Chains A and B, each alone.
Chain A
Amino acid sequence: MVQPLGYLKETASQTAGPYVHIGCTPNFTGIHGVYEADLGSGSMINDQTRGERITIRGHVYDGAGTALKDALIEIWQADADGLYNSPSEIRGKADPNFFGWARCPGDMATGEFVFETIKPGRVPFRDGRLMAPHVNFWIVARGINIGLNTRMYFSDEEAANAEDPILSRIEHRVRVPTLIGKRDGDTVTFDIHLQGENETIFFDV
């Protein structure tokens, strides 16, 4: 016999189900008067937010190529200087006008998600090397048993992407483009494929 380690086990995930909107975005599903606004909805920036304005748009596609119309997408990103607005951020104080987290349900008719945000700065990897600018994504929906983590990098950051410690460790180089949002003017398009030839890279974070 040995001593028990005594750790608890993480509570198991269960699907967010088809009615995740009731709990997370009630106004979106037409239930008004309980929450003033849906948490994480609307623009992520105000007049004082520092950084380059961008709009992230995309869809989440299933293995048949159909856009999910019931997914919930959350993003978490650093400010323009590469600082997170979080108590666990000890490298400096993040832009007080940028919360860094937002939530968007896919449009009920088209499935599209949209985030009005800024382009994040670079944040360091654990060994101090800089990672390329990226936005962290978390996707839940009916039929997704455990939330999916991925990252969106930027197509206009070729040099930074080339030296990014995460991107460069991906063995199957052909899959790397699944993590790159395509920049066109102020819009960055990032489609997420749950399955199929272009299956997005998901991370065990």
Chain B
Amino acid sequence: MKNMPPETTPFFARDRDMHPPAYTPWYKTTVLRSPQRALISLEGTISEITGPVFGHNIINEFDNDLLANYAKPGEGPIGERILVHGRVLDERGIGVGGTLVEFWQANAGGRYRHKKETYLAPLDPNFGGFGRTITDENGFYWFKTVRPGAYPWPNGVNDWRPAHIHFSIFGHGFAQRLITQMYFEGDPMIWKCPIVKTIPDEEAIKQLIAPLDMNATIPHDMRAYKFDIVLRGRRSTLFENRMEGN
């Protein structure tokens, strides 16, 4: 919230049981890219408590409209039009306002606009597949896009990613930095995915599945999916220093 003083307290310890471990051999690329030694614990110093904050000056008008930000005038991408909306919160349930959220995805056919991508589904000339926004003072965000397609990837001989959207979130401190993926309610591919299965906790997986939100659906235009993102909470000032103003 705008009028709240900046918070300067350390973050709650990360509950690593809710996150994928580094080494998950069924997702083959992790085998050689996973640190083997224990992480060294470092209770939040000022280096982790602080973090960059981006101003609205970096955001262009159509950055949160993937239906428009790459399309030729008067045209638009092929696919199911959707609105993705939600709130960035911390573990205390407090909205994380004014934070940058970036997102990227495949097009409706499951193809990414990337030099190294070779899937035979065609590129969509009107779809870039990425955008960004800054949450409002209560942590809310939204963007418009098309529902991405599932796509095959070289891991097992017949592995497919469920439809998903990648998210990058900054939060207010560098220790809150997070990259994750959003999945779609009802997609049978979710529970077959080796990358989803890197997460050991079923509830943590469910927390990545965005439900269809008919209340936010725009009649005759686009259906909505709601995706809340929870970042690490931070300790109350109460237990750190003397309370200010009391």
Q: Which A residues fall within an 8 A CB radius of B?
A: 6-24, 26, 29-31, 33-35, 39, 62-64, 66, 68, 70, 74, 76, 78, 84-91, 99-101, 108, 123-126, 131, 134, 136, 138, 140-149, 151, 166, 169-170, 175, 194-195, 199-205
Contacts and interface: CB of A to CB of B under 8 A. Distances in A.
A134 B46 CA distance: 12
Given A12-B201, A34-B69, A125-B45, A204 B40 contact: yes
B186 interface: no
A194 B34 contact: yes
Contact of B177 (A23, A33, A91, A138): A138
Contacts of B174: 76, 136, 138, 205
| Shortest Cβ-Cβ A-B pairs, 3 listed | A23-B104, A143-B29, A86-B50
Contact of B8 (A11, A88, A99): A88
B208 A11 contact: yes
Contact of A194 (B32, B198, B207, B233): B32
Interface of B: 6-8, 10, 12-16, 18-22, 24, 27, 29-37, 39-54, 58, 60, 63, 69-70, 89-93, 102-104, 112-117, 128-130, 132, 166, 168, 172-175, 177-181, 195-196, 198-199, 201, 203-205, 207-208, 229-233
Contacts of B201: 12
Nearest to A203: B42
Contacts of A21: 114
A145 B19 contact: yes
Tell me whether chain B's interface is mostly helix, strand or loop, or mixed. Answer: loop
B31 to A, nearest CB: 8
A22 B102 CA distance: 10
A66 B41 CA distance: 28
A188 to B, nearest CB: 17
Contact of B22 (A30, A76, A144): A144
28 contacts: A7-B93, A10-B232, A12-B207, A14-B166, A14-B181, A15-B179, A19-B104, A19-B117, A26-B130, A30-B115, A35-B60, A63-B31, A87-B6, A88-B173, A123-B47, A126-B43, A131-B47, A138-B177, A143-B29, A146-B19, A146-B22, A147-B177, A166-B45, A169-B40, A203-B39, A204-B39, A204-B40, A205-B174
Contacts of B24: 145
